[in-house]
């Protein structure tokens, strides 16, 4: 927990719009309220399942209880994976506690078709998502068009969508400009949580050059 607080202070100094707290990276997560009290910035609580690229080895009741505890402590967003058991019930509890529900899915092998992305987005909305987070793995530069095209489709909730990997960097950068709720960046080089992730400083420099 101490290391997480030190990281939070370093990240906050860079001026992000919001911060994701990865509890699955912590050996002893502790009380989420301690982190909440250290910043006024919006926070996303994530305790990522192992089968979705995370490091949490908790059993499901403990893993999701930590997420709910964080929302109760004042975290603004809660990330729940699409394959989370009892997703609708947990999502309802997140909203009752005043949180914004992000339902996420990561494909670490390839880029789904636009129709597959569309169906996943619809299913997330029906499951109660305030924000659908759909992330794939870009295998070629053209895959960026598939992710960005999803923003042109009718949708019932907010959307975050881009491709991981070197070939997906363009969609990471452009997704917020296409209508995405937010994108992700690492605080420093070498601390990336996913392939192809740029640092916050690099993202800011790119947006400045683009005039946005």
- From the candidates 10, 95, 105, 106, which is the catalytic residue? 106
Q: Is 88 an active-site residue?
A: no
Residues 186/197, Cβ–Cβ less than 8 Å: yes
Of the listed 10, 88, 109, 133, which one is catalytic?
A: 133
CA 208 centroid distance within chain = 23
Angle, alpha carbons 11-73-41 (nearest 5°) = 30
Q: Which residues pair with 19 in a beta bridge?
A: 43
Active site residue 38: no
Q: Please, what's the b/e burial string for 34-43 (b: 16 or more CB within 10 A of its CB; e: otherwise)?
A: ebbeeeeebb
Quote the tokens at residue 101: 């529900």
Token pair 């491709």: residue? 163
Contacts of 119 (CB under 8 A, 6+ apart): none
Catalytic residue numbers, as ranges: 106, 133
């Amino acid at each position: 927990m101490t290391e997480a607080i030190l990281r939070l202070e370093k990240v906050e100094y860079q001026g992000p719009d919001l911060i994701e707290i990865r509890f699955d990276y912590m050996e002893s997560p502790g009380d989420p309220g301690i982190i909440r009290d250290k910043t006024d910035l919006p926070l996303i609580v994530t305790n990522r399942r192992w089968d979705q690229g995370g490091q949490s080895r908790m059993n499901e009741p403990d893993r999701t209880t930590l997420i709910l505890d964080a929302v109760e402590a004042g975290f603004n967003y809660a990330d729940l994976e699409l394959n989370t058991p009892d997703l609708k019930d947990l999502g309802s509890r997140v909203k009752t506690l005043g949180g914004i529900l992000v339902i996420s899915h990561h494909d670490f092998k390839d880029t789904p078709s636009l129709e597959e992305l569309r169906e996943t987005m619809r299913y997330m909305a029906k499951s109660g998502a305030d924000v659908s987070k759909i992330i794939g793995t870009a295998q070629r530069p053209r895959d960026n068009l598939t992710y960005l095209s999803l923003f042109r489709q009718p949708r019932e909730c907010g959307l975050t969508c881009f491709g991981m990997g070197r070939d997906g960097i363009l969609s990471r950068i452009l997704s917020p400009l296409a209508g995405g709720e937010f994108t992700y960046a690492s605080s420093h080089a070498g601390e990336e949580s996913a392939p192809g992730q740029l640092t916050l400083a690099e993202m800011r420099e790119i947006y400045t050059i683009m005039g946005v």
